[in-house]
Amino acid sequence: MLEPNATFIGQIVVFLILLWFLAKFVVPPLTRMNAERQRKIAEGLAAAERGQKELQEASARANDVLREARERARQVEEQAARRSSETVEAAKQIAHGEGARIVEAARAEAGNETLRVREQLRRDFGALVVQGAARLLEREVDPKTHAQLLEQLANDIARS
């Protein structure tokens, strides 16, 4: 068996002093550094998880914004098409109205021209009748003196 002697007791005392020194001055800073490192690692992991979550939320928001933008673009496109067709339809109606007005003006002008031509024909016919009558009667009939008679004759011819 082992008997304790002075060297052995001195070594035990030095060992105990070394243990006390390590426990008092070396272990607490190491423990603090280890705890700080664990805290930083935990914060880093939590930040990474938050970053992942924020990335997913941002991606979802971006998809929502993109979907809304597409919907708005579709609505604008439909509105533009609707306005375009309304404009074309309005232009068609304006053109139709303008065409009807032009046709009506042409009809009125044709009616006026017809009346003018009839009046001219009536006068010409009256003059021809007077010439024919003059030849038949072998004497000249003066249109100026018989203007009222010729006008009445032209009116009678126009009515029939």
State pLDDT tens for residues 25-40: 999 999 999 999 999 9
Q: Are 122 and 154 spatial neighbours (Cβ–Cβ below 8 Å)?
A: yes
Distance CA 74, CA 72 (A): 5
23 sits in which H/E element: none
Predicted pLDDT of residue 30: 95
What six digits make up the tokens of 62? 């971006």
pTM of the complete model: 0.42
Percent of the chain whose predicted confidence (pLDDT) is above 90:
61
State pLDDT tens for residues 38-88: 999 999 999 999 999 999 999 999 999 999 999 999 999 999 999 999 999
Predicted pLDDT of residue 64: 95
